[in-house]
Structure 1
């Protein structure tokens, strides 16, 4: 087995040693017996900045240069209305809680800061203002919410506690901050599973199978030799780094020797009808894999929406995802919303049918909403029919994990520009995820054993439960 593959399998690739120093996690508090915590969370992140005004928070009474052509429709939940282009999801609305008042103070109004804020729950620091999209992940960043959950759950016997798929946003060197464990320690970084638009059923874990003439016995022998080398090396290296390396080596070995590691991503085991229900796209198949990982009891799974630059880049004036600077309404109606509607409604329906929704929290969010006033100067202004970035207001959608479905929480103003009623922050949403997962003690310790709080100045939205 190649050394490079072994390191990548352990999660030590790009998302590895450069993004944090190992720390010790604080002990977990006992959970209140009033509600069982969720066993898993699926985060569905709509990369690019999905238009809250055209999916969840339509404004049919706003002026035409704000509201756009889409109309709201009734759903399975009285009072909850969705875009007319989400008909399959409308039948599952009784499971959904829409939070229409998520606001932010990110004055950069760009992707990097939006990712960081909504993935960690922390307001981006001044470096995001000065560096913009050149602001790369840093060792002292606040940790990704998935890494926090991973650190507070017992280690999975065969798989990492946090898994992200089908890609790592965005292409290097512009990797988005906020998706790594950072100061919490690289041992809590997610493992990345990769897929492509061309072969959506082939989700590839990094070196999750033995190659060439390497057998299980030979791999075990090599691990024995590696332990001897590690013992000789300890006197020269910092202990904390060696401890992290050893933990990741153990994780890699578990991945390689366990049949569960590969079977969890084998979508060919699903029926043709199930594949068709999710839709044979990379995003649909990633959500189906997420359901399989829930069944395998992985605590935190993230699906980062994968765009299609070749097909939609020119049409939408973007990287092919939800960053609809141009042709916002055509791109949504003809491409993005049909795929999203099928895949996300399938996930909610599938989890409910299998009795897994009550113990699985599903969160849909994005790095930002879209500017309420139609027209982006970069794509021809009003005639380009695009919506620009807008970090000041967006809608998050939660389901399962103890959430009471069929409700709308908070409200934006008449134009959808700013939260108006019951305003909340990305930190409150992150705190709600921790609450659903039964994580109430948010103290951690750095390498000098100094305590720090993982998420101050926020509160869980307990009214949703």
Structure 2
């Protein structure tokens, strides 16, 4: 793509993204009455054509929880370990037996090892992309679509575009009937990554901004306080005053009736109604009250913001939300040690970062989620998925942290693993293998498209037809096949 072409596209996309991101936040708690920026003229906003029979087949998942380990989790140090590989590959960790004879996990995952009979471990995903970076890794694993050439030419400057392929959570949310006062797709506890480097792939994009996830925020310092912009009234505005303002808004709408047929205006109205419904719903606000959980439950999950987010995800499953995404929130206290943003991007001191910080937090929280869902008879109807944007180099030593002496692992998009549980999945099994060093898929090679199709199958979404803004039909994901043998 030429720089001139990119600049023109960027201008169009920026206009679209303003509506795209502001609408996602639903941030007009005081009911501001400005008319939004129009979407780009060439950006499709038409909702997909829904098939009444689309839920007639498939798995049992009424809800999906996607737990995304931001940064790129090391597959060879967690659930695809290579104890027989040379020392420069295998590292100091040892695998341990689990509650499932087929599954071996890292010794630093003792709690999860007792829940392994719920797991399907998929070890043969080849998500190779030319950029070998986070942006492309997010996009591929969140949409099922291979990144286009702009990811290579722009790198971290590649912004989310309104004509990107949609996030799998947005597709599931669009194809499901809502059974609660909450949106069909919610994301917590943050939106990766810090602006202006927002990760592509996490939005509805060409599917239409009305299917964007609602973002719910929490902080490392106050993990039990979840903040959805749509649930906070500005200043001293009361619900009664808000209802009065809604009546005023309806009056103003009459004066701009000429705009009713403009797609951007219709979309904006949908977001206005979504925000209003959330603010006036006592049931919705109760769902976000994680502090109301018992001390024993909160302690079982752990005290971190990621632990609280998984507990929140369980509450959202109880509220019948179809798709919940938890993006691992980085701990800035370990940024310097791990040579990263403080997440799973362990460029330096990989093994101590995992052993002392990342694995204990993950082990407690994720095992608690599986245990909690099972005890509440929710696991069979909830697909739980753990993924990341990439694996990490099987050979130890990242040049950016001093090579072998820095004990880091660099990005590795050529091979990675995914964990699945619930939603009709048969637990206690592995699928596919990587080679003896964990560098490339060996048996039953897959791509992220296969994982996306498996999520759709588990959710009963079997119709992926849609139409663009000009009424032209297209398929939301032609590549890949559902791993039906897992069910």
Which TM-score bucket, shorter chain as reference? over 0.9
| Counterpart-to-counterpart distance in 1, 2:24 and 2:161 | 19
Structure 1 gaps of 5+ residues are none
| Counterpart-to-counterpart distance in 2, 1:445 and 1:156 | 25
| Counterpart-to-counterpart distance in 1, 2:391 and 2:417 | 8
| Counterpart-to-counterpart distance in 2, 1:18 and 1:419 | 41
Partner of 1:176: 199
Partner of 1:460: 482
Partner of 2:222: 199
| Counterpart-to-counterpart distance in 2, 1:365 and 1:398 | 9
TM-score normalised to structure 1 length = 0.95
SS at 2:442's partner residue? strand
1:157-213 deviation digits (Å, cap 9, x = unpaired): 411111000000000000000000000000000011111111111111114133443
State how many pairs are aligned.
458
Of 158, 183, 190, 1:167 maps to 190
Partner of 1:74: 97
| Counterpart-to-counterpart distance in 1, 2:92 and 2:203 | 39
Alignment of 1:148-297 (within 5 A): 148-236=171-259, 239-297=262-320
1:267-291 deviation digits (Å, cap 9, x = unpaired): 1110000000000100000000000
1:365 paired with 2:381, answer no
Of 456, 459, 476, 1:434 maps to 456
Of 417, 426, 439, 2:439 maps to 417
1:376-434 deviation digits (Å, cap 9, x = unpaired): 00000000000000000000000000000000000000010000000011000001000
Of 154, 157, 165, 1:142 maps to 165
In structure 2, do the counterparts of structure 1 residues 104 and 35 end up closer, same or farther at CA, with 3 Å as the change threshold?
Answer: closer
1:97 paired with 2:120, answer yes
How far 1:156 moved relative to its partner?
4.4
Partner of 1:130: 153
How far 1:10 moved relative to its partner?
2.5
Partner of 2:470: 448
1:108-139 deviation digits (Å, cap 9, x = unpaired): 00000000000000000000010011100001
Of 141, 153, 178, 1:118 maps to 141
Of 11, 26, 33, 1:10 maps to 26
| Counterpart-to-counterpart distance in 2, 1:146 and 1:262 | 22
| Counterpart-to-counterpart distance in 1, 2:80 and 2:326 | 23
What RMSD, in angstroms, separates the aligned Cα atoms of the two structures?
A: 1.9
| Counterpart-to-counterpart distance in 1, 2:165 and 2:450 | 15
Structure 2 gaps of 5+ residues are 1-20, 30-36
| Counterpart-to-counterpart distance in 2, 1:437 and 1:7 | 26
| Counterpart-to-counterpart distance in 1, 2:38 and 2:402 | 44
SS at 2:231's partner residue? coil
1:318-343 deviation digits (Å, cap 9, x = unpaired): 00000000000000000000000000
SS at 2:258's partner residue? coil
Deviates more, 1:95-104 or 1:26-35: 26-35
TM-score normalised to structure 2 length = 0.91
| Counterpart-to-counterpart distance in 2, 1:274 and 1:185 | 38
How far 1:234 moved relative to its partner?
3.7
Give yes or no for contact 1:6–1:207 (8 Å, CA) kept in 2. no
In structure 2, do the counterparts of structure 1 residues 155 and 242 end up closer, same or farther at CA, with 3 Å as the change threshold?
Answer: farther
| Counterpart-to-counterpart distance in 2, 1:464 and 1:231 | 54
| Counterpart-to-counterpart distance in 1, 2:105 and 2:47 | 44
Partner of 1:400: 422
How far 1:228 moved relative to its partner?
2.4
| Counterpart-to-counterpart distance in 2, 1:12 and 1:110 | 35
Alignment of 1:254-403 (within 5 A): 254-309=277-332, 311-403=333-425
SS at 1:302's partner residue? strand
How far 1:37 moved relative to its partner?
2.9
